[in-house]
Amino acid sequence: MGAEVVIEGLTKSFGKQAIWRDVTLTLPPGEVSVMLGPSGTGKSVFLKSMIGLLKPDRGKCVVNGVDIVQCSEHKLYETRKLFGVLFQDGALFGSMNLYDNVAFPLREHTKKSETEIRKIVLEKLEMTGLKGAETKLPGEISGGMRKRAGLARALVLDPEIILCDEPDSGLDPVRTAYLSQLLIDLNAQIDATILIVTHNINVARTVPDNIGMLFRKELVMFGPREVLLTSDEPVVEQFLNGRRIGPIGMSEEKDSAQMAMEQEMADAGHHDGSTEDVRGVVPQLQPTPGLPERQGVRRRKDRVMKILHTLPPAAQEGIIESLTPEEQRRYGVQPHAYAGAQHATRPVASGSTPSRHSGELPTENIAQLPDSGWNGPAPRPQPGTGGPRHQSPRPGQGGA
Amino acid sequence: MTAGASTARFPGIGMLRETGKLFALGLDVGRGIFQRPFQLREFIQQSWFIASVTILPTALVAIPFGAVISLQFGSLARQLGAQSYTGAGSVLATVQQASPLVTALLVAGAGGSAICADIGARTIREEIDAMEVLGVSAVQRLIVPRVLACMLVALLLNGMVSVIGVLGGYFFNVVLQDGTPGAYLASFSALAQLPDLWVGEIKALIFGFIAAVVASYRGLHPPPGPKGVGDAVNQSVVITFLLLFVVNFVITLIYLQIVPTKLG
């Protein structure tokens, strides 16, 4: 299982210019997270601070019980072996060919024989679609290939934590999709904790389990993907839809006068740059059929259901809808619990009932038999009157 | 907290800080020399590379350098009627002063600039970061072999420069100034002594170390952008030259105090 990364109150500034303040978040082990943010909000700086390349002014970054910010140099190098980092431009060693680049960590850190190394290196190169390019120098290949080679090198030591700095920049949409799939497959195979820094909305919507966003020198939010994808926060909304109306300007922030002017223009019919509203929860990317199930997904489900009542209603809705009917029963929740009043008091089938529907439809959209008592247990009385937004799991049942 | 130290502002603080970091790198390198695993391959490659870019220019500089010393000292000695000491004087000057300096200037100018450009390019391409992130210390993996290579090459070049310088001096003195070959050779040991050779070699070692550490330091911390690397190379050579002459002055002073001259 991947390692957990706990970041507390991390603050970084260059001279007098603050980059971000008091960033606190936890990368849950084995889950895929995405850090969004407009250009220049210090996303790359954040990554570099996480691995101790830059020294934050304050705060902690704890990996496996080691605080990266404060620990000794020796511990730092040891802890870094857990990381696989993909840099923006691949950061390959210019004087070595691709094979030697990918073999470098193995030669430095392991006592493997050259035949073993060869096997691993060729496997990773094939995984990233670089078979046959082993003898090329980094200067002789395209940016996309360099990026993939950088990923291959980050993977040879089977890292517990993978950090990707804009894996999509400079890649075409198809290769980006392949790369996203590759990351998800990797996560399914080695259960590594993954953090992707990007501003590609498509990646952000389909790949991660958790999404965070940096803006105005702060972490705007970090949480389950549904929270950000359904958020009403103006910054998030603007960013996801890629339009000019909103708090993000060409230089990072804009003033209210500019905002008002743009709003006026948009109201007058001027195009605001966006196409359609892409908010809302979309199905997540799944591992390629044949690979093991992602362990992180199951852990995340339990984790998210535990904190469900603390999340905003829209996010709750999205999460509940993404569950299969059996899971909804297992956790004792139902979709549209507060949207349709007639369902609010409907009894929830307990886990003992075998699933009759395997379709994607939410349970109440499926034709139901008249109240024939097929679902055994007695109706659960609903406390309160206003129609609770979700039903908290019954003790001893929900967390199973 | 380090807040107090990092917010202190007074003129020259930047320079002090840079100097401190330079020394810190020097210490790191010193420690790294004794840490295993030793990067033998990189060391041999770098030694070969530095030697190949410095040998020819050094030899070409050494001949006129030895000649100038010899001619200058020769005419001076003749005016004083001490012609028989011409050889002694030029050997002393060449071995003790000229050859370590010539060596260091060329190691800094040719080898150091190449090291600085190489490391600088790696830094801005994030290769150094990538290496650090892979859990490999860049100082241990890249800088230490280069510093040792520079020291070794400086040591060997110093020997070569001494020989060529003395030969050049001999040639110009005997052929152009009508000096007597026998007297020139016989007076070698009149003023010069073995410690002069030692101090020359020690100087060469130290100068090689300084040249490589300064070049590496500037390479690891270049101003931003490709132009920054160019500036860093430029600065590294200038800084090295300044340091060399100061350090040379200090070492010479100490040496002259400690080791008595032969004709006391």
CA gap B221, B120 in Å, rounded: 7
Query: What is the C-alpha separation between A328 and A330, in angstroms, rounded?
Result: 5
The pTM (predicted TM-score) of the whole model is: 0.76
Q: Is the dihedral of CA B81, B87, B90, B92 positive or negative?
A: negative
Residues from chain A contacting residue B120 (CB–CB below 8 Å): none
Phi and psi at A21, nearest 5°, equal -125, 145
Neighboring chain A residues of B130 at a CB cutoff of 8 Å: 85, 87, 91-93, 150
Task: Please give the interface size between A and B, counted as residue pairs whose CB atoms are below 8 Å apart.
Answer: 56
Our CA-based measurement puts residue A138 at a distance from the nearest CA of chain B, in whole angstroms, of 12
Chain A residue with minimum CA distance to B9: A15
Structure tokens at A12: 């970084």
The answer to whether the beta carbons of residues B133 and A81 sit under 8 Å apart is no
- Those residues whose C-beta lies under 8 Å from the C-beta of residue A226, and which sit 6 or more positions away, are A281, A311, A315, A316, A318, A319, A322
Q: What is the pLDDT of residue B145?
A: 92
**Structure token digits, residue A164:** 């990707």
Q: How far is B14 from chain A (nearest CA, A)?
A: 12
CA angle, A300 then A304 then A308, to 5°: 170
Picking from B13, B122, B133 by the largest number of A CB atoms within 10 A of its own CB, the best residue to mutate is: B133
Closest Cβ opposite residue B133 in set A80, A89, A93: A80
The partner residue sitting opposite A91, judged by closest CB among B3, B125, B135, is B125
Out of B3, B127, B129, closest to residue A94 by CB: B127
CB of A109 closer than 8 Å to CB of B131: no
> Residue A383 — φ and ψ, nearest 5°?
-70, 150
Chain B residues closer than 8 Å to A89 by CB: 125-126
A107 contact residues in B (CB cutoff 8 A): none
Nearest CA among A306, A286, A290, A391 for reference residue A349: A391
Determine whether the interchain pair B125/A80 forms a contact, defined as Cβ–Cβ distance below 8 Å.
Answer: no
Please return the burial class of A17, using the count of CB atoms within 10 Å of its CB with bins 0-12, 13-18 and 19+.
exposed
Residue B134 to residue A108, Cβ atoms within 8 A? yes
Q: List per-block mean pLDDT (blocks of 10 residues) for chain B, which spans 264 residues.
A: 53 85 90 83 91 88 83 82 77 83 87 91 88 87 91 91 85 79 78 82 90 92 87 91 90 86 61
Å from A168 to nearest chain B CA? 18
Handedness of CA B21, B23, B26, B27 (dihedral sign): negative
Q: pLDDT of chain A along its 400 residues, tens only?
A: 678 888 888 888 888 888 888 888 888 888 899 988 888 788 888 888 888 888 888 888 888 888 888 888 888 888 888 888 888 888 888 888 899 999 998 988 888 888 999 999 998 888 888 888 888 898 888 888 888 888 889 888 888 899 988 888 777 888 888 888 888 888 888 888 999 998 888 888 888 888 888 888 888 888 888 888 888 778 888 888 777 777 787 776 677 777 787 778 777 777 777 766 767 777 788 888 877 888 778 888 888 887 787 788 877 877 887 777 777 777 777 766 544 443 434 444 444 444 444 445 455 554 444 444 444 444 444 444 444 444 444 444 443 3
Report the residue of chain A nearest B134, measured CA to CA. A81
Residues B135, A109: C-beta atoms closer than 8 Å: yes
Among residues A334, A321, A303, the alpha carbon closest in space to that of A223 is found at A303
C-alpha–C-alpha distance, residues A208 and A225, integer Å: 7
Round to whole Å and give the CA distance between A35 and B16.
38
The shortest CB-CB distance from B134 to any of A57, A94, A104 is to A104
Judging contacts by C-beta atoms under 8 Å, the chain B residues touching residue A51 are 133
Facing residue for B132 by CB, picked from A53, A88, A94: A53
Secondary structure, 3-state, chain A: CCCCEEEEEEEEEECCEEEEEEEEEEECCCCEEEEECCCCCCHHHHHHHHCCCCCCCEEEEEECCEECCCCCHHHHHHHHCCEEEECCCCCCCCCCCHHHHHHHHHHHHCCCCHHHHHHHHHHHHHHCCCCCCCCCCHHHCCHHHHHHHHHHHHHCCCCCEEEEECCCCCCCHHHHHHHHHHHHHHHHHHCCEEEEECCCHHHHHHCCCEEEEEECCEEEEEEEHHHHHCCCCHHHHHHHHCCCCCCECCCCECCHHHHHHHHHHHHCCCCCCCCCCCCCCCCCCCCCCCCCCCHHHHHHHHHHHHCHHHCCHHHHHHHHHHCCHHHHHHHCCCCCCCCCHHHCCCCCCCCCCCCCCCCCCCHHHCCCCCCCCCCCCCCCCCCCCCCCCCCCCCCCCCCC
SS3 B177: coil
b/e map B153-173, b = 16+ CB within 10 Å: bbbbbbbbbbbbbbebbbebb
CATH 3.40.50.300 is held by the domain A5-82+159-227: yes
CB B129 to CB A91 under 8 A?
A: yes
- ipTM for this prediction: 0.72
- pLDDT value at position B116? 93
Q: What residues does each domain of chain A span?
A: 5-82+159-227, 232-267
